[in-house]
Amino acid sequence: MGNTVSCCVSPEESPKLPRQPVDRNEDYQIITDVSDDTGPYLQHISDREVPDELAQESNPSDHARASTIFLCKSQTDSELRDKRKSNHINHGSHTSPGPLSKKYSSCSTIFIDDSTVSQPNLKSTIKCVTLAIYYHIKNRDSGRSLDIFDEKMHPLSREQVPDNYSVMDPEHKLIYRFVRTLFSAAQLTAECAIVTLVYLERLLTYAEIDICPCNWKRIVLGAILLASKVWDDQAVWNVDYCQILKDITVEDMNEMERHFLELLQFNINVPASVYAKYYFDLRSLAEDNNLLFPLEPLSNERAQKLEAISRLCEDKYKDLSRAAMRRSFSADNLVGIRRSNAVLS
């Protein structure tokens, strides 16, 4: 049995080929690729199915250090640069143009929003995600698309698609209304909206296509469909979306979902670091476009809730640290250890 080669064995670790000696002066990452010398090394599915060229480019939907695509496209927008310039001039000028739209904390009042990385505000998050999609469409590189996402070939409604549907960029309000309708009818969460954007950018990178006026609805629908099934405990079935979009068939939904997964190479994993990066980049996008999260004065009741949450997290980390100290002790950890009192008889 030891000589049987499995289909999951990587070619570099084939038992038929002699192994190359490992240089101990190389990086530690090379050494960790081999689990032991007793058998062949089995790659993880994500290591085998993600192409090498994508790993080298540091796809933002897979790597937390890479910059998100939507934020880069928004920063190159000329209208946004002019808006930033006007905001800077109004903020720096001594003459007040009117009442301030942004609230600032003082010694007596603290303003905070109700959006956190673990529980984002639903309405504000949908606005930011749809704004990111808007900049994707507006500042697209080209018009690369696939037939499965073409709205002319696979319409979502019985209304006739206009002839100039492939060149007319949709407004942000139209994208927001489309996404908000799906989220409201399916009762999806704000976290699902962030995962939707992650899958959308992963699709654009893996399939090497662009989100255009002719395909943005079906791409967004496919990303929402997949994100709702992966993220939410009680996923919405494809037939439920057919109740929201009356003119689409279940067969069309199933085919689009299958193509979406194949183009993603079945990589639906979203690391926590990638999720957090997209959340904070969406907040940066909101600030650049004056989409402020709703601020409310910090009340005594909410302050007590925040204190209780922080105390709970602090106790959790203390328990983890105690468990780690029980496993192994070092000279650095000997300072805070409690000793039992000696019993004198």
- In tens digits, the chain (345 residues) has pLDDT values of 444 444 444 444 444 444 455 454 444 444 444 444 444 555 555 554 545 544 545 789 998 889 999 999 998 875 655 555 555 444 444 444 444 456 666 666 777 776 778 888 899 999 999 999 999 999 998 889 999 999 889 988 888 888 788 888 999 999 999 999 999 999 999 999 999 999 999 999 999 999 999 999 999 999 999 999 998 777 788 888 888 888 899 999 999 999 999 999 999 999 999 999 999 999 999 989 988 776 777 778 877 877 787 787 777 767 766 665 555 555 555 455 455 554 444
CA atoms within 13 Å, Cβ hemisphere of 316: 6
DSSP 12: G
Query: Which residue type, as a one-letter code, is found at position 286?
Result: A
Q: Is the CB of residue 125 less than 8 Å from the CB of residue 176?
A: no
Q: In whole angstroms, what is the distance from residue 146 CA to residue 214 CA?
A: 10
The pLDDT value given to residue 206: 95
CB under 8 Å to 182, separation ≥6 — which residues? 188, 221, 224, 241, 244
Structure tokens at 30: 């090379």
Q: List the one residue out of 218, 224, 157, 134 whose CA is nearest residue 187.
A: 224
Q: In whole angstroms, what is the distance from residue 172 CA to residue 106 CA?
A: 34
User: In terms of residues, how long is the chain?
Assistant: 345
DSSP 182: H
Q: In whole angstroms, what is the distance from residue 60 CA to residue 48 CA?
A: 19
Q: Residue 202, SS3? A: helix
Q: Which residue has the tokens 């629908």?
A: 221
Q: Residue 25, SS3? A: coil
Provide the terminal-to-terminal Cα distance of the chain, rounded to the nearest Å: 64
Q: Is the CB of residue 280 less than 8 Å from the CB of residue 169?
A: no
Q: Which residue has the tokens 């899958």?
A: 199
Q: In whole angstroms, what is the distance from residue 124 CA to residue 194 CA?
A: 11
The pLDDT value given to residue 95: 44
Structure tokens at 108: 């007596």
